[in-house]
Amino acid sequence: MKQSILCTNCAKELMNLSARGHCPGEHNIFIFGLAKRDYTCDFSNEPISAGDRCCANSIWADHGRIPYYKWESDFLMDIEWPEPVIEARECELNDGGG
C-alpha cells in the first residue's frame, strides 16, 4: 500500500486521473481533512501548514503484500469520510479484499 499526504490541488489532479479508471483489484481513495501539523505535499513538495485542508491518499491492490488499513486520523483531523468510501472499505476489509 502506498500512502501520501497531498495538497488539495494535487489531490484534485490525481482524483481526475484516477477517475479515468484503474485495473481490477486496484484501489485508490482520497480522504480530506485538516492537517494536524505542518507537512509537505508528497506530489508537488508544496508546504501544507497545520490546519490547512489536505488529503490522505491510499493506493493498494488486492494482490499486494500490505492491505489497506486506517491511517488517516494519524495525520488529519476533522476528517470528511464520504459514505460510499466507508462502505466500500468496510466491505473490502470484511471479505478479505475482494
Query: How many residues can be counted in the chain?
Result: 98
pTM: 0.76
Whole domain around residue 31: which residue ranges?
2-94
pLDDT at 83: 61
- Cell numbers given for 6: 497531498
* Helices of type H across the chain: 8-19, 83-94
pLDDT at 64: 77
In which residue ranges of the chain is pLDDT below 70? 21-22, 82-98
pLDDT at 80: 84
For the chain, the domain total comes to 1
Residue 42 backbone dihedrals phi, psi, to 5 degrees? -70, -10
Chain centre distance of CA 57: 2
Q: Are 14 and 82 in contact (CB under 8 A)?
A: no
